[in-house]
Chain A
Amino acid sequence: MNMHAQPQRTPAETALIDAFGERLSLLPGDGAVMLKRDDAIEAIKHGLPTRRVESWHYTDLRRLLTSVPDFDPAAATKAIAPVIEGSAVLPLLDGVSTPKLPEIEGVTVQRLSEKLTDGSVAPGLDPYGADDAIGALNTAFVADGYFVDIADGAELDKALELQNLQSAGQTHVRLLTRVGDGAKATIVERQTGEGAALVSSVTQLVLGEGAEVTWLIVQEQPDTATHLAQFKAHLGKNSRLTLFVMNAGGKLVRQEIVVRTTGEGADFKLRGINLLAGDTHTDVTMVLDHTVPHTTSTEVIRNVVTGKARGVFQGRINVHQYAQKTNAKMACNTLLLSDDGEFSTKPELEIFADDVVCGHGATVTEIDHDHLFYLMARGIDEKSARGLLVKAFVAEVIEELDDEAIVDALEARLDAWFVAHG
């Protein structure tokens, strides 16, 4: 235990606290929002989490966050082509939403800066726990984002892409989405940019009764950026959420996924691929709460580690006492391709109900030599054979998505990564 009550602040902590002082007058919000911001910065003043905080065990943010860039008013970036062709795009350029909101039938879009100013989003700004550093950081600084409301029964015929792009400095955005009863939608959350930026992004999603959503997070930050993201969802009765997360970039990345089933019959699917290269650190942490009876979930995470990359997957499934008949399965498979790479995983089960079927599996291994031999015996050179096997290992997760347009789009991203790092 630390003997010192108040350890000295790191340069990053100091920079964040100073930045808050400077930015305060520019941040939108009514009294309630500003109070939440004050509470949040207080939490940061107590220090960023270290490995002693269990949920940050493998990502010592205090040590890893070595510097924080200043806000850069000159930053200017442009919207890019969407992942899925023909999607409606909602861009957030250097943390600022567009005033020209697209007209989509059944969808109401509002700029979050307005909702902060009128205080209507204040109740949702609380961090979800004392160890929620990303929530606190975002609440303190969030200036913009979108509020997307999909009407009851609306079935979107084209995908919606939320683009969070930045060229420098810091951006702190929040994406709030409500999907009405029986509505259907495919939403892409694109996280990319250029330069050594610090990004915090919090997504909150609420699914109404019988809603069906496929949500894709495509994170391709440059290997100089720090990306701290959170995805929180509440799943209503008989709703279905398929969350696909692809991490293929960033210097320091933490993607938190916090999901709660709040209605019976809800189903959650998480499919993730983490492609790690260079001298980077990527952490995917999931907390899944089954709070009501008869809900199901499956999670499959595939990781490829090359170079000096360090990867982390923490997944905790909590089955509450009342949540009988829960069926939850989780798997995390990792291919370690380099001697300097590292992968740590902590799949947890916390179970308070007895009539459940829960399981998890985790493996860490290198490429199977028999598989390699099989391909090479057929005249394929080693490099190509390895490439084929690695691609097959991760593509399996993508192919499960069952929508040709999405599968093609994601495989294209996958290929782009292999070209750059293969």
Chain B
Amino acid sequence: MPAVQDTIDRVRKIDVDQYKYGFQTEIAMDKAPKGLSEDIIRFISAKKDEPSWMLEWRLEAYRRWLTLDEPTWARVHYPKIDFQDIYYYAAPKSTPGPTSLSDVDPELLKVYEKLGIPLREQEILAGVQKTDVSEFEEASDNVYKSGRVAVDAVFDSVSVVTTFKKELAQAGVIFCSISEAIREHPELVKKYLGSVVPTTDNYYATLNSAVFTDGSFVFVPKGVRCPMELSTYFRMNEKNTGQFERTLIIAEEGAYVSYLEGCTAPQRDENQLHAAVVELVALDDAEIKYSTVQNWYPGDAEGKGGIYNFVTKRGDCRGHRSKISWTQVETGSAITWKYPSCILRGDDSSGEFYSIAVSNGYQQVDSGTKMIHLGKNTSSRIISKGIAAGFSQNTYRGQVSAHRKATNARNFTNCDSLLIGDQCGAHTVPYMEAKNSTAQFEHEATTSKISEDQKFYVMQRGIPEEEAIALIVNGFVKDVIQQLPMEFAVEAQKLIGISLEGSVG
């Protein structure tokens, strides 16, 4: 089979060093001493000017964490993480809470500009083109400048700036960093924080509860349709730091919000830890759409370096007829351990999970979802597309369960894997648990390589092989790409191309 051999050869030549966000920036940083202890947690809490109840909450989580063992059930292998060898707090020095963009360190703004994240809202509003396009050519094709997107920029441990706050406030939407929310809206934070992912949830979520440094907070009040896309951009810059962010999104009755998350990190030889928690709460008739394009540094071609991404994301469809939709494009990280889930508590609520996980080099992905049907007439839909190339391992792990009272629970799951090369692995581990006779669950999974017939069909129309494969891969992931907000879809498609470069073209 010459064609197969050809693919194998190309996979051998794989070069994953195509990470274009791998630069690092010298910025004066304010850091806590290395390591983790109650004192460090007190330090973080004091830095953030937090009320005492918050500190207590953190300490309780920390004490709980000390009693837990690291989970080992996922199909990921990595040397033991030394939790005492990490900086738990690192913040750019010049930010005692900037009030306007002019207060922000220009170096920092440059970072975001380089990443293509529009923090200069005035320019976007006026539709002004950047004058220094040549300097930041990479950024010029970025999608953000086209639409109106409010951005919360998180740099290592702190949120440096949030845009469009005023306009959002007029609509009644609160969009700010979680630290600010703890200070300004303690009643909301107290009510909802930890109500979806409790401090006792799992090893990494408990750790996050103890040491989280920042993240985004969104509150959309009753009946409000958020007037623009909200977005948070996470950047890990400092050496040896861990990033622990916490995001809390609440959609009250009848509210709607679409939220995007993006992330990058510099190219480094050592591994960095990222352990985030995201909680979503949807009340009656509310809808939350959460999209992620995860592009942490994946490590080099030999599997050296890269981010360990241990994330707990969970949405609670608390109200009747509520809806939560997760869409994720996972291309980065050395290790991904991530299961965005939906608790379908309200009657007639629905949950969705659309995922593309692309792994190349020595990346290890163990990702999937949980759909927990509790209310009546709940429905869920899972579409997962895994693409494994190089020496990577790509696992889908998902659970669908219908509890005793979940009459007419309905689930459809489809997970397909595509293998490119014979050194990688694709795995599917679905769990289905039905405790109600009216439940209707369907699950299907397939694993295959790109069929020679498909490739032949495209190529005989004059399309070169590399493009043919790219076309087929794009077709393979189309179901998920369609779910992304338009601006993100373009970026995601490009990212997939970059991730697979060298393996399919």
Contact = CB atoms under 8 A, between A and B. Distances in A.
A351 B443 contact: no
Interface in B404-445: 404, 417, 419-445
Interface in A342-362: 342-362
B483 interface: no
A339 interface: yes
A337 B436 CA distance: 9
Contacts of B7: 354
Given A347-B443, A364-B434, A355 B422 contact: yes
Contacts of A3: 67
Contacts of A354: 7, 419-422, 424, 449
A108 interface: no
B405 to A, nearest CB: 10
B240 interface: no
Nearest to A366: B437
A358 B446 contact: yes
A238 interface: no
A352 B421 CA distance: 9
Nearest to B397: A348
B445 A360 contact: yes
Interface string A155-173: 0000000000000000000
Interface residues of B, number: 40
Interface string A200-228: 00000000000000000000000000000
A349 B427 contact: yes
Nearest to A349: B428
B441 A324 contact: no
B429 A348 contact: yes
Contact of A362 (B67, B69, B441): B441
A349 B447 contact: yes
Nearest to A333: B442
B429 A1 contact: no
Nearest to A321: B422
B78 interface: no
B362 to A, nearest CB: 15
Interface string A41-54: 00000000000001
A363 interface: yes
Interface in A206-257: none
A343 B434 contact: yes
A357 B423 CA distance: 16
A353 B437 contact: no
B448 A357 contact: yes
A361 B443 contact: yes
Contacts of B443: 347, 360-363
B53 interface: no
A356 B417 CA distance: 11
A324 B431 CA distance: 27
A288 interface: no
A384 interface: no
A346 B441 contact: no
B432 A344 contact: yes
A350 B440 contact: no
B4 interface: yes
A111 B421 CA distance: 50
A360 B432 CA distance: 13
A268 to B, nearest CB: 18
A315 to B, nearest CB: 11
Given A344-B431, A346-B431, A348-B428, A359 B445 contact: yes
Interface residues of A, number: 37
Contacts of B448: 356-358
Interface string A350-394: 111111111111111110000000000000000000000000000
Contacts of A363: 440-443
A334 interface: yes
Nearest to B451: A357
B125 interface: no
Contacts of A366: 437-440
A50 to B, nearest CB: 14
Nearest to A310: B435
A338 interface: yes
A167 B439 CA distance: 39
Given A321-B422, A344-B431, A351-B426, A339 B437 contact: yes
Given A342-B433, A351-B419, A1 B68 contact: yes
A336 interface: yes
A342 to B, nearest CB: 5
A341 interface: yes
Contact of B439 (A54, A346, A365): A365
Nearest to B450: A354
A54 B441 contact: no
The residue among B420, B435, B437, B440 with the most chain A CB atoms within 10 A of its own CB is: B437
Contacts of B73: 54
Contacts of A344: 431-434
A355 B4 contact: yes
Given A358-B447, A360-B445, A341 B422 contact: no
A360 B428 contact: yes
A281 B434 CA distance: 14
B449 A350 contact: no
Interface in A177-191: none
A42 B68 CA distance: 28
A337 B437 contact: yes
A270 to B, nearest CB: 18
Contacts of B447: 349, 351, 356-359
B425 A352 contact: yes
A305 B412 CA distance: 21
Contacts of B437: 336-339, 341, 366
A1 B420 CA distance: 37
Contacts of B404: 339
B417 A342 contact: no
B445 A350 contact: no
Contacts of B1: 355
B430 A336 contact: no
A304 to B, nearest CB: 12
Contacts of B446: 357-359
Contacts of B439: 336, 364-366
Contact of A346 (B420, B432, B434): B432
B422 A324 contact: yes
A70 B443 CA distance: 44
25 contacts: A54-B73, A336-B434, A336-B437, A337-B437, A339-B436, A339-B437, A342-B435, A346-B431, A346-B432, A347-B430, A348-B427, A348-B429, A349-B428, A351-B426, A351-B427, A353-B419, A355-B449, A359-B446, A362-B432, A363-B441, A363-B443, A364-B439, A364-B441, A365-B439, A366-B437
Given A347-B430, A356-B447, A359-B444, 6 more contacts: A336-B439, A342-B434, A344-B433, A346-B429, A355-B4, A356-B449
Q: Which 4 A-B pairs have the closest CB atoms?
A: A354-B419, A359-B446, A1-B69, A336-B437
Interface of B: 1, 4, 7, 67-69, 73, 404, 417, 419-449
